[in-house]
Each structure stands twice: as C-alpha cells, then as structure tokens.
Amino acid sequence: MRVWVWGIALLGVGVGMTAYFFPVTQECFLCPPTKEAWLGTDPLGRDIAVRLLRAWSLTTGIALGAAMLSTGLGTIVGLVAGSQRGILDSLLLIGVQTLWVVPALLWAALLAFVGGKNWLTLITAIGLSTWVETARLIRIETQKLWRFAFVEAGRALGLPHKRLLRRHVLPNLWPIVRTQFLQVFATATLIEAGLSFVGLGPTGENVSLGTLLFESIQWLTLPQGLVQGLLAGTLLSGTVFAVYSLTGYGRDSF
C-alpha cells in the first residue's frame, strides 16, 4: 500500500517536473494541436499540455506536503492527549473540539488569505486546518492502548513515558496513521484546487489545477478551453479517486 501511495505522489510530482524542460509560451495563439504543443495553446499563447503537467505537479506536491504536516501534527497531539490525564488532556480536547466545529476549508481559506498566494502558505494553511480528525482518532486509540497489559507492564518497570509512546504505542497506531494520511492527502488535493479556483492559490507562470479550471471557464466555448477544463478536472478527480481507493488497504490492517 505504501508503494502505491508514494508512487501516486511521485508520479504526479515527477511527471510534472519533466514539463519544466519544455517552454510554456509558444508563438501561436489558440493554435490547434501540433508537434510543439500537443494539446494546442490558449488565448495567451501558452502550451496547454505543459501547463497541465506543471499544475498536476504543483497540486500533488502541495497536497503531499499538507498531508505530512497534518498527519504529523495530529499524531503528536493525539499521543500526548491520549497518554496524559488531567488538565493537559482536557485543554487539548477543548482545543480540538473548538477547531472541529469549523470546516477545514474555511480555516484553510482564512490562513491562505492572510499568508499570501504561494505554495508554502497553502501547505501550511491546509496542514493546520486538517489535523483535528487525526488527533481525535489517535487520542481515542492511545487511551485504549494505554490500558493494555503490555503498556501497564512497561509502566510498572519504570520505562520512560516517551519510550512507551515511541516503542509500544505508536507501532500499533500505524494503520490508523496511514489511513488518515491518505484521507488528508485526498482532502488536501480538493481544498488546494478549491482555494486556487477562487484566487487564493499560487500565481505566476506555474499555477495549480484549480486555477486552470477557472481559466477554462472563461473560454469554454473554444475547443482549447474545453480540452483544458476536461483534462484538468480529470487529473484532479482521478488523483483523488486513486488515493481514496487505497484507504481500504489501511483499514484492512486494523
């Protein structure tokens, strides 16, 4: 399962990176497909195929970075809250529940608007807005594992708290962590596309799939606009579908 996950991520980033060896701007405006521009050019003379590959790379890279940040943060908070009793657990639970009531897309939009239109801001915004569900699940499972006999034995032997979490609790949580990583990866892909669609994504020569979808709406009556819109939507939905399809492998490991 892990091979498939990293394969999809590296395929999206790797294929898109090859597009950087080809020029975006062509001399012809709204040209039909040629040897130089496989899918034709847009009204500004930009190669549609090259822009699609670069956009797929950017969207996949942002989603991957956001998923790593979100899963890592949620796992750490969940481990700490689930293994601690008293005020610390109560405070963390209140904070998680407070963030839980606000949709992740709104948090991401707010953070992206404040931070600026660049890929690093999007990774941070999406990652900080999608970690709550992971933290809740990890907290619940950690509380269960904390009462198991092997953890009680380790505590009775005086093993350090961090070692118990790292060596005995966390390995039993990997199936949940893997599944959450996949779900956040797919969710981050959609959130990034949505933010870019409304103008909160990266700007400049290299944009994401959401921006290409928005651009294609403006000239959808033309064949080139129809091709760009359909292929951008296909790449976006296909990536999300492929990642969501892999979540079943993580659940089977529970």
Domain-wise residue ranges, the chain: 49-251
Question: Of 68, 71, 63, 69, nearest to 180 (Cα)?
Answer: 71
The matching CATH number, chosen from 2.40.50.140, 3.30.70.1520, 1.10.3720.10, 3.20.20.220, for 49-251 is 1.10.3720.10
What's the pLDDT at 100? 73
What's the pLDDT at 16? 65
Contact between 58 and 207 (Cβ < 8 Å): yes
For residues 18 and 6, what is the distance between their CA atoms, to the nearest angstrom?
18
What's the pLDDT at 6? 61
Q: Which residue has the tokens 């969710």?
A: 187
- Those residues of the chain that have pLDDT short of 70 are 1-17, 19-21, 23, 26, 248-254
Residue 86's SS3 state is: coil
Residue 25's SS3 state is: strand
Contact between 48 and 41 (Cβ < 8 Å): yes
What's the pLDDT at 67? 94
Residues 107-126 as b/e (b if ≥16 CB within 10 A, e otherwise) read bbbebbeeeebebebbbbbb
102, amino acid identity = V
Q: What is the DSSP letter of 47?
A: B
- Residue 21 CB partners (closer than 8 Å, separation 6+): none
For residues 70 and 122, what is the distance between their CA atoms, to the nearest angstrom?
12
What's the pLDDT at 254? 44
What's the pLDDT at 71? 95
Q: pTM here?
A: 0.83
